[in-house]
A = this chain, B = another copy of it.
Amino acid sequence: MTIAGENLIGGTGRRGSNGALRGLAAATGEALEPAFGGATASDLEEACALADAAFDTYRETSLEARATFLEAIAENILAIGPELVERCMAESGLPKGRVEGERGRTVGQLRLFAAVVREGRFLDVRIDKALPERTPMPRVDLRLRNIAVGPVAVFGASNFPLAFSVAGGDTASALAAGCPVVVKAHSAHPGTSELVGRAVQKAVADCGLPAGTFALLFDTGRAIGQGLVADPRIKAVGFTGSRGGGTALMQIAANRPEPIPVYAEMSSINPVVILKNALAARGAQIGTEFVAALTLGAGQFCTNPGLVLTLGGEGYEAFASAAGAAVEAAARQTMLTNGIARTYREGVARTGAHGEVRTLAGGTPGEGGEGAALFETTDEAFLAHPELQEEVFGASSLIVRCKDEASLRAVIAQMEGQLTIAVHLDAGDEPEAKALLPLLEKKAGRIVANGFGTGVEVAHAMVHGGPFPATSDGRTTSVGSLAIARFLRPVSYQSLADALLPEALRDANPWNVPQRIDPS
């Protein structure tokens, strides 16, 4: 497949005339061919108009047709073959195994949503039958289903160039819900974006769907992305990225004449709590495993463990020295972009220079990519210095050595919202863990026992979300089948004749979807 450097709008490729951007080899900074023309305001206008025009047709595709479309996207992505893997490796600096694994995840995600669509549970069909004999007032016939909210803007993420980008989790769940999608490509992987975008575009055409069901825009500045969120035809936004970027989009969305929801997954340091008995029994083992999670993918996962909370007692030295040794032994890794690497080095230097922080291991710049870094501070210092809670994106982590369980709890209570909190515990720690749980539930979307938040299973029971600022909306998840709920709204139909009702609401249930019927 050719990478043409084009925006994908209305089933065609169009060279944008609003400046140009290029993919850069993450390892060397070398500019890659070709140049990508930036979308203009009129490209944006056309993409939104087409998405709006596609909406009524696309949202009423049969469940089978929509599921087949999602599967066709998956097939088309696989059909690109090694070219996609190579381009993605070059643009992201991620190794082949990771990129292939991420492609598998992306394809698996599309297939999961195909299954979710076929099952039809997401429609939440409820039928309250008329009760004409009810006193004092008869009851009318009421039927409810979820419908798609409208065209959705998706912002590709730098750290998942496949699984949270052009055909990633946000796009898959929005398309599954019945929403056309306009993607703003992330500038860090434009070639990967175009290849995947063409795979989606081909699936749209092959499945006979309206051309406006999908568009991909390159933005040489910020105007196209911001204009996309402000466009009145866009009804929801999916975003994964920085806190600054996410909150800026939240503000734009809240200040529209018609405010819309923004689902931004932003900032999390994913605390790891190590309880007393676990620390004493297997401090060294936990230390080694912790650093394996910390350094996975150069620490560029949203669920990267950037904070450890533990007691200073038995096992602490074993934990800290094993973790320190593992950090020293860890290979240097290429980060996603030069900008991300620079920000990482600055964050590590800032943490290391903090008056209340001691460097335990790593943290020194060098050749061949970025190394991990491990720091230590006390509960008092952590509580007194809110800046120590700020995320350093990459393989840097801070151990907070707490003097007792009460102070450990005080540290958690002061923390902002998180995607995940991990707790390491042995049998003797269960009472303490049980006492901590209510606090952990209020602070995070996922609680992990004896493991780490990295490794986000795409499943029904996954929550990849959490209270602000982990996400903009702690009532939702961006990974797993529940992600579809972000792009739905309920509509109730009162006393409509069967022939006028959507298929899913009819008595004969021709779509064979779950119907909650009252009286049953």
Does A292 interact with chain B (Cβ within 8 Å)? no
Which of A218-226, A390-398, A489-497 participates in binding chain B? Answer: A489-497
List the B side residues contacting A468 at CB < 8 Å.
Answer: 258-259
Q: Which of A481-520 contact B (CB under 8 A)?
A: 482, 488-497, 499-500, 516, 518
Q: Are B490 and A445 in contact (CB under 8 A)?
A: yes
Does A143 interact with chain B (Cβ within 8 Å)? yes
Interface residues in A, total, Cβ within 8 A: 69
Q: Which of A127-149 contact B (CB under 8 A)?
A: 127-128, 137, 139-140, 142-144, 147, 149
Distance in angstroms between the alpha carbons of A449 and B140 in the assembled complex? 11
List the B side residues contacting A463 at CB < 8 Å.
Answer: 144, 490-492
Distance in angstroms between the alpha carbons of A250 and B251 in the assembled complex? 12
Could you jot down 29 A-B contacts, CB within 8 Å? A60-B438, A127-B461, A140-B451, A142-B457, A142-B459, A142-B461, A258-B417, A258-B468, A433-B500, A437-B500, A445-B490, A445-B491, A447-B496, A449-B494, A449-B500, A451-B494, A451-B495, A459-B518, A460-B518, A461-B492, A461-B518, A462-B492, A463-B490, A463-B491, A465-B489, A465-B490, A475-B488, A477-B492, A482-B490
Does A13 interact with chain B (Cβ within 8 Å)? no
List the B side residues contacting A147 at CB < 8 Å.
Answer: 441
Scan A459-478; emit 1 where CB is below 8 A from any B CB, else 0.
11111010111001111110
Return the contact of A142 from the options B438, B462, B465 (Cβ within 8 A).
B462
Q: Which of A236-265 contact B (CB under 8 A)?
A: 250-251, 254, 258-259, 261
Q: Are B143 and A461 in contact (CB under 8 A)?
A: yes
A299, chain B: closest CB distance, angstroms? 20
List the B side residues contacting A446 at CB < 8 Å.
Answer: 491-494
Q: Are B495 and A460 in contact (CB under 8 A)?
A: no
A257, chain B: closest CB distance, angstroms? 9
List the B side residues contacting A450 at CB < 8 Å.
Answer: 495
Q: Which of A413-466 contact B (CB under 8 A)?
A: 417, 430, 433-434, 437-438, 441-442, 444-451, 455, 457, 459-463, 465
- Most B-side CB within 10 Å, residue of A124, A477, A493: A493
A411, chain B: closest CB distance, angstroms? 18
A20, chain B: closest CB distance, angstroms? 36
List the B side residues contacting A494 at CB < 8 Å.
Answer: 446-449, 451
Does A38 interact with chain B (Cβ within 8 Å)? no
- Most B-side CB within 10 Å, residue of A139, A441, A476: A441
Does A126 interact with chain B (Cβ within 8 Å)? yes
Return the contact of A493 from the options B60, B447, B472, B489 (Cβ within 8 A).
B447
Does A150 interact with chain B (Cβ within 8 Å)? yes
Q: Are A144 and B462 in contact (CB under 8 A)?
A: yes
Q: Are A139 and B459 in contact (CB under 8 A)?
A: yes
Q: Are B451 and A475 in contact (CB under 8 A)?
A: no
Does A56 interact with chain B (Cβ within 8 Å)? yes
Q: Are B475 and A489 in contact (CB under 8 A)?
A: yes
Distance in angstroms between the alpha carbons of A433 and B495 in the assembled complex? 13
Distance in angstroms between the alpha carbons of A473 and B489 in the assembled complex? 9
Q: A461-B127, A518-B459 are in contact. Are A492 and B254 (CB under 8 A)?
A: no
List the B side residues contacting A445 at CB < 8 Å.
Answer: 489-492
List the B side residues contacting A433 at CB < 8 Å.
Answer: 500
Q: A441-B147, A518-B460 are in contact. Are A449 and B496 (CB under 8 A)?
A: yes
Q: A144-B460, A417-B258, A490-B463 are in contact. Are A150 and B438 (CB under 8 A)?
A: no
List the B side residues contacting A465 at CB < 8 Å.
Answer: 489-490
Q: Which residue of B lies closest to A147 (CB)?
A: B441
Distance in angstroms between the alpha carbons of A433 and B516 in the assembled complex? 26
- Most B-side CB within 10 Å, residue of A128, A482, A491: A491
List the B side residues contacting A144 at CB < 8 Å.
Answer: 460-463, 482
Return the contact of A492 from the options B447, B451, B490 (Cβ within 8 A).
B447
A116, chain B: closest CB distance, angstroms? 12
Complex A-B, nearest 3 residue pairs according to Cβ-Cβ distance, in ascending order: A463-B492, A144-B461, A142-B461
Q: Which residue of B lies closest to A488 (CB)?
A: B475
